[in-house]
Amino acid sequence: MGRPKKFDPDRAVEQAAETFRAHGYAETSPQTLADSLGIGKGSLYNAFGSKHDLFLRSLERYTDTSLTELKAVMDTDRPIRERVRNLLIGFVRSDLDDPDRCGCLVVNSAVEVAPADKSAALLLGRSFDATEAVLHMAFIAARESGEIGPDRDPKALAGLMQSTMIGLRVLAKTRADFDRFESTIDAAITAI
Amino acid sequence: MGRPKKFDPDRAVEQAAETFRAHGYAETSPQTLADSLGIGKGSLYNAFGSKHDLFLRSLERYTDTSLTELKAVMDTDRPIRERVRNLLIGFVRSDLDDPDRCGCLVVNSAVEVAPADKSAALLLGRSFDATEAVLHMAFIAARESGEIGPDRDPKALAGLMQSTMIGLRVLAKTRADFDRFESTIDAAITAI
DNA sequence: CGAGTTTTGTACCTAGAGTTCAAAAATAAG
DNA sequence: CTTATTTTTGAACTCTAGGTACAAAACTCG
């Protein structure tokens, strides 16, 4: 009963994540949001309550799909070093392919929003933890299978790879070509 | 001749950098800025032209002092691994010591401002390059002195250390205690 | 079809951002 | 002391953010 929604809330949240990713939280106005979702401002507030609520939902969705994508790469049946390399290359490439260098919503929000927003910080912390856990597991498996030496610490490697990933994506904000990242990625893989 | 300035522009720029670091560019209003500098809004515009101009000047100053601090640590007469370790530990520690997790103006601005601000992006890119260069030189020297193996690539190591530094600082936005970073730092040093 | 819901878009409101400006105030030169 | 020059200050102005209110529209179910 009642008038049905003209838009798919799930898709709207997805699109909102995209808009927040592109412009940042502060620079995304309710009007911009409504326009990008193709609905009126009234509908937006009716459906999502507030800009902040919508942001949190967007962030949640984004972290979910990011984790899924990460797992997709890491569950491949390839050598661990190749999988990690693909991961790093993939992130840098996709960041550089975007002429606007919008980057990753998680990284962006951790920097822009987290310090002043407890609930966002919680989601982001969980996302970072989940990412680290996936890498951690992969390194544990790789050590068991003998792919990496028994002297390697899976947790430490997971932490190093995650930090490197994030650092590279921040650096990509100001750099133009992939060449500048190649040797860094090599060094990261060599560290495994 | 003329009425003398009541405030030291250099100090004001420094204080402005601090304010931008604490709240981000978008969330720092001219009023906040004027208050934090202890001057009227009018004086602010008279002295600096615009919020954006002041931001650029702040950024410039901040990158200068950051580079000086980096050199201070790297010019120490200690083993390369110890120097780098001190660097990483120092950044993470100082980030975590701040209850608000404001972090580093360069990292923050690269994420928040660079994509939409060409001139800021230029400054930030130069800052990143300068940082990398200092590390690069240090690793070159370390290889010449035999401190690190001849098979190590100084440039690659510099890139890896820089990415790690930045990544750690982003992660520190959502984490509370130092322990979680310890093994990552170990892995980074082991990679040298 | 009509009752009852829910959605929609517009109009509206308040607060604050970012900037400009005129007038007052402080100093050095003459 | 006056004048030229510069800085300070608060008020004023415009524009937009962020959010609310509401009446009309659209749909489902009985």
- List the single residue in A108, A121, A171 with the smallest CB-CB distance to B163: A171
Site from A89, A173, A177, A185 to mutate, B interface, most B CB atoms within 10 angstroms: A173
Confidence of residue B40 (pLDDT cuts 50, 70, 90): confident
Closest of B139, B123, B144, B135 to residue B165, by C-alpha = B135
Q: Which residue is nearest to nucleotide C18 (CA to C1')?
A: B30
Closest of B24, B178, B13, B190 to residue B105, by C-alpha = B24
Instruction: State which residues between 67 and 106 of chain B bring their CB within 7 Å of strand D.
Output: none
Lookup result for tokens 């990679």: B191
Confidence of residue A42 (pLDDT cuts 50, 70, 90): confident
CA–C1' A47–D22 (A): 17
pLDDT of B73 higher than 90: yes
Distance CA A157, CA A163 (A): 10
B103-130, pLDDT tens digit by residue? 999 999 999 999 999 999 999 999 999 9
How many C-beta neighbours within 10 Å does residue A110 have?
28
Protein-proximal nucleotides of chain C (any atom < 7 Å from a CB): 4-11, 16-22, 24-29
Site from A98, A155, A177, A184 to mutate, B interface, most B CB atoms within 10 angstroms: A184
Confidence of residue A39 (pLDDT cuts 50, 70, 90): confident
Contact A112, B111 (CB under 8 A): yes
Task: List b or e across A128-153, with b for residues whose CB sees 16 or more CB atoms inside 10 angstroms.
Answer: beebbebbbebbeebbeeeebeeebb
Site from B111, B175, B186 to mutate, A interface, most A CB atoms within 10 angstroms: B111
The pLDDT of residue B3 is 66
Distance CA A136, CA A140 (A): 6
The pLDDT of residue B6 is 73
Contact: A160, B162; criterion CB under 8 Å: no
Sorted by sequence, the CB contacts under 8 Å of residue A146 that are 6+ apart come out as: none
**For residue A26, how far is the Cα from the chain centroid?**
19
Report how many Cβ contacts below 8 Å link chain A to chain B.
161
pLDDT (average), residues A50-70 = 95
Confidence of residue A2 (pLDDT cuts 50, 70, 90): low
pLDDT (average), residues A96-118 = 96
pLDDT of B102 higher than 90: yes
pLDDT of A187 higher than 80: yes
Q: Worst-scoring range by mean pLDDT, A49-58, A159-168, B6-15?
A: B6-15
pLDDT (average), residues B68-87 = 97
Q: Worst-scoring range by mean pLDDT, A9-13, A182-186, B79-83, B84-88?
A: A9-13
Contact: B163, A164; criterion CB under 8 Å: yes
A51: CB within 7 A of chain D nucleic strand: yes
Share of chain A above pLDDT 70, in %: 97
The pLDDT of residue A130 is 98
- List the single residue in A159, A174, A191 with the smallest CB-CB distance to B124: A174
From B150's Cα to the closest Cα of chain A, the distance in A is 14
pTM of the model: 0.94
Contact A114, A180 (CB under 8 A): no
pLDDT (average), residues B20-35 = 94
Average pLDDT, chain B: 95
Confidence of residue B179 (pLDDT cuts 50, 70, 90): very high
pLDDT of A44 higher than 90: no
A126-169, pLDDT tens digit by residue? 999 999 999 999 999 999 999 999 999 999 999 999 999 999 99
The pLDDT of residue A4 is 65
Q: Which two tokens stand for residue A58?
A: 């967007």
The pLDDT of residue A40 is 81
Instruction: Kindly list the protein residues whose beta carbon lies within 7 Å of any strand C atom.
Output: A 1-7, 39-43, 46-47; B 1-4, 26, 28-32, 41-42, 45-46, 50-52
From B169's Cα to the closest Cα of chain A, the distance in A is 9
